[in-house]
Amino acid sequence: MRIDGKRKCSDCSKEFEWMSIVAQPASAPIYTVETIDKPQARIVEKRGDTYLVNIFCSHCKQLNAFEHK
Residue extents of the structural domains in the chain: 2-68
Phi-psi region of 44 (alpha: psi -120 to 50; beta: other; left: phi over 0): alpha
Q: For the segment 32-62, what is each residue's pLDDT rounded down to a tens digit?
A: 888 899 999 999 999 999 999 999 999 999 9
DSSP 16: E
Inform me whether the pLDDT recorded for 25 exceeds 90: no
d(CA 6, CA 17): 4
pTM of the full predicted structure? Answer: 0.81
> What DSSP element (H or E) covers 52?
strand 50-56
